[in-house]
Structure 1
Amino acid sequence: MHTTRHDWTREEIAAIYHKPFLDLVYEAASIHRANKDYNEVQISSLISIKTGGCAEDCAYCPQAARYNTDVNVHALMKVSEVVSAAVRAKEGGASRLCMGAAWREVRDNRDFDRVIEMVKAVNDMDMEVCCTLGMLTESQAQRLADAGLYAYNHNLDTSEDDYKRIISTRTYDDRLNTIKNVRKAKLTVCSGGIIGLGETVEDRVSMLHTLANMPKHPESVPVNALVPVKGTPLEDQPRVPIWDMVRMIATARVVMPNSVVRLSAGRTEMSTLEQAFCFMAGANSIFAGDKLLTTPNPAFVDDMAMFELLGLKTREAFKNGRPARVLPQEEVLSE
């Protein structure tokens, strides 16, 4: 079996990334196939529970209030609307529902109370629940955990050196501190990044270095290809070559052998053959459903046809077990 390490150097990761393409894919595929469930793909469905009007200035994001995009601002969804979306997602084959809110950080108010109700409702449907709500304190992470949250997404986006070019309204340390707070609440971590922002290969390697050297690797690592949106500072960025996506996925698979690596944004631009290369290189998760927050995504029916063609199967929810919850004292029953 491939040894899991947390002491990678940037030079080692760069050497993996720069291997001859077919050698890299072969190495990553070999590591991936050492796992008996290599042909199993986890399907997540992502919904925007609160859209637009965000105070942040992330250069790639159409939901920032300061950019003039086609995204309309929508208030926080009702719990019943989220449950309906979860039912549709589950029927389509999704085992995880990810709920995203265009907030800079979580505030302890009625909106957060409603998100807690959403988490409880979806958790009761036997789906893994993930949230991405911006920055989070330790006590807020604990509240989400107590409600039944399974995962929290907080992407690094890019390298620490490149970060200030993409976002000025928060720091890289803010991102890392949120991930630490998520870990303290015993939640699983979903954290990856975006390529195609105008970053260098060194930035990509540096981001993977940060993720791979965390005390515990993120259980889920999304690799996103930028979807340029008119009205954002990155609207003119060229499409990411498929070779770059495969290299990122393969390198992530080698340095984080037990993480679920998600082929995320940018799939609408990819052919079935290109996606097959990504699965071969170690991707074992996708977002399914017709939208990713505000950008287009393949429909469930198209993905199921692709799964059948490639001989892939869907991963069940809670494959690695539900996280152990510490019950309040009065709920602990004596034997």
Structure 2
Amino acid sequence: MTNREELRHDWTKEDLLAIYNKPLLQLVYEAAGIHRAWHKADEIQLSTLLSVKTGGCPEDCSYCGQAARYHTDIKVQDLLPKETVLAHAKKAKENGSSRFCMAAAWREVRDNRDFDSIIEMVKGVNKLGLEVCCTLGMLTENQAKRLKEAGLYAYNHNLDTSAEYYEKIISTRKFDNRINTINNVRKAGITVCSGGIIGLGESKEDRISMLLTLANMEKHPESVPINALARVKGTPLQNNPKADIWDMVRMVATARIAMPDTMIRLSAGRMDMTEPEQAWCFMAGANSIFSGERETLLVTPNPGISEDLQMLQNLGLKLL
């Protein structure tokens, strides 16, 4: 963990494209070196993601099976009781997770009893000694403040894709709405988790544009999830081709080089990745994976915890 250089926030699109387009082995070698300068290369953070309120969302995100307007097999579930959520959090900690994220399929947070319940959940998970994260949709400055006071460590609000491609994927909110929520999270002193999805039909330039937005923020997000599209039957993107593994590796490596201090999280889509393919992503700088109970990540298939622990053992990696 030596040879650190000062973080950059003045990247150009040409800079990042040049990195992304390097010969693959050279790119991974460079990213691996930077990863080792800033992080312990044999450590992976295990994070657990729980859907505390599922389905019925009014948004039209083309990839999401929780949108009410699409005909999927996902069952709508009201907000879980606090006791149920805390039981899941305790089990996650026993399984080796150090971060617990609660997701609600809302367009935005409303100041009502449900949000009051989320506040109590955050307090409870925080007392367990876990990094507590939420992803609840758009958030006002005051709501972010309440979450911070309750002990929230991180807030996830993905950009999903570039500003230029965004309207082809979502029409019910603007790209700037996402930036505003991230700014509100920052003002409250909560760490930021924000990344994107590969395989939406976007171009290479769109992927780089999304990374550019993150890498040139005044403070880099502490976490950047790199997701492969989980093709949910009944959504407009159900027939998209599987995200190419080398595109995933290039995204992980480019994110690692541009944002050395950030946790790069290998997130959705791992079910379609082999163990060697995931190993390439770890070599390129990914240092976190998400687990979900019942072998799901929110509402899509995900490797089970025992399978993940075996993979980490096979690769000589240990939990952070």
CA–CA distance in structure 2, aligned partners of residues 29 and 106 of structure 1: 39
CA–CA distance in structure 2, aligned partners of residues 140 and 36 of structure 1: 33
The corresponding residue for 2:32 is 29
2:77 corresponds to 1:74:
yes
| Corresponding pairs, count | 315
How do 1:1-335 and structure 2 match up within 5 A?
1-289=4-292, 290-315=295-320
Question: 1:46, 1:291 within 8 Å by CA — same for their partners in 2?
Answer: no
Q: Aligned with 1:252: secondary structure?
A: helix
Seen in structure 2, the aligned counterparts of structure 1 residues 108 and 17 have a Cα distance that, compared at 3 Å, is: same
Paired residue type of 2:255: A
- Could you tell me which runs of 5 or more consecutive residues in structure 2 were left unpaired when the two chains were aligned: none
Paired residue type of 1:204: R
CA–CA distance in structure 1, aligned partners of residues 42 and 219 of structure 2: 24
CA–CA distance in structure 1, aligned partners of residues 134 and 82 of structure 2: 14
- Could you tell me which runs of 5 or more consecutive residues in structure 1 were left unpaired when the two chains were aligned: 316-335
Task: Report the alpha carbon displacement of residue 2 of structure 1 after superposing the two structures with TM.
Answer: 3.2
Q: Aligned with 1:239: secondary structure?
A: coil
| Residues 286-295 or 123-132, more deviating | 286-295
Would you identify which runs of 4 or more consecutive aligned residues in structure 1 move more than 6 Å?
A: none
Q: Aligned with 2:237: secondary structure?
A: coil
Question: 1:208, 1:252 within 8 Å by CA — same for their partners in 2?
Answer: yes
The one-character-per-residue Cα deviations of 1:211-235 (angstroms, maximum 9, x if unpaired) are 0000000000000000111110001
CA–CA distance in structure 2, aligned partners of residues 295 and 42 of structure 1: 21
Task: Report the alpha carbon displacement of residue 3 of structure 1 after superposing the two structures with TM.
Answer: 2.8
Question: 1:2, 1:31 within 8 Å by CA — same for their partners in 2?
Answer: no
Question: 2:48, 2:99 within 8 Å by CA — same for their partners in 1?
Answer: yes
Task: Report the alpha carbon displacement of residue 241 of structure 1 after superposing the two structures with TM.
Answer: 1.1
Q: Aligned with 1:42: secondary structure?
A: strand
CA–CA distance in structure 2, aligned partners of residues 252 and 46 of structure 1: 22
Q: Aligned with 1:257: secondary structure?
A: coil
The one-character-per-residue Cα deviations of 1:52-85 (angstroms, maximum 9, x if unpaired) are 0000000000000000000111100000010111
Paired-residue identity, %: 65
CA–CA distance in structure 1, aligned partners of residues 38 and 11 of structure 2: 22
| Residues 66-75 or 284-293, more deviating | 284-293
Paired residue type of 1:308: Q
Q: CA RMSD in A?
A: 0.7
CA–CA distance in structure 2, aligned partners of residues 150 and 101 of structure 1: 17
Give the TM-score normalised by the residue count of structure 1.
0.93
Q: Aligned with 1:34: secondary structure?
A: helix
CA–CA distance in structure 2, aligned partners of residues 94 and 165 of structure 1: 35
CA–CA distance in structure 1, aligned partners of residues 94 and 18 of structure 2: 43
Task: Report the alpha carbon displacement of residue 35 of structure 1 after superposing the two structures with TM.
Answer: 2.7
Question: 1:51, 1:101 within 8 Å by CA — same for their partners in 2?
Answer: yes
CA–CA distance in structure 2, aligned partners of residues 36 and 205 of structure 1: 23
The one-character-per-residue Cα deviations of 1:75-111 (angstroms, maximum 9, x if unpaired) are 0000001011111111111101110000000000000
CA–CA distance in structure 2, aligned partners of residues 288 and 307 of structure 1: 13
Paired residue type of 1:265: A
Question: 1:222, 1:262 within 8 Å by CA — same for their partners in 2?
Answer: yes
Task: Report the alpha carbon displacement of residue 180 of structure 1 after superposing the two structures with TM.
Answer: 0.2
Give the TM-score normalised by the residue count of structure 2.
0.97
Task: Report the alpha carbon displacement of residue 288 of structure 1 after superposing the two structures with TM.
Answer: 1.5
CA–CA distance in structure 1, aligned partners of residues 271 and 91 of structure 2: 20
Task: Report the alpha carbon displacement of residue 36 of structure 1 after superposing the two structures with TM.
Answer: 5.0
Paired residue type of 2:187: K
Q: Aligned with 2:225: secondary structure?
A: strand
Task: Report the alpha carbon displacement of residue 294 of structure 1 after superposing the two structures with TM.
Answer: 0.2
The corresponding residue for 1:318 is none
CA–CA distance in structure 1, aligned partners of residues 304 and 146 of structure 2: 33
CA–CA distance in structure 1, aligned partners of residues 239 and 279 of structure 2: 28
CA–CA distance in structure 1, aligned partners of residues 64 and 47 of structure 2: 21
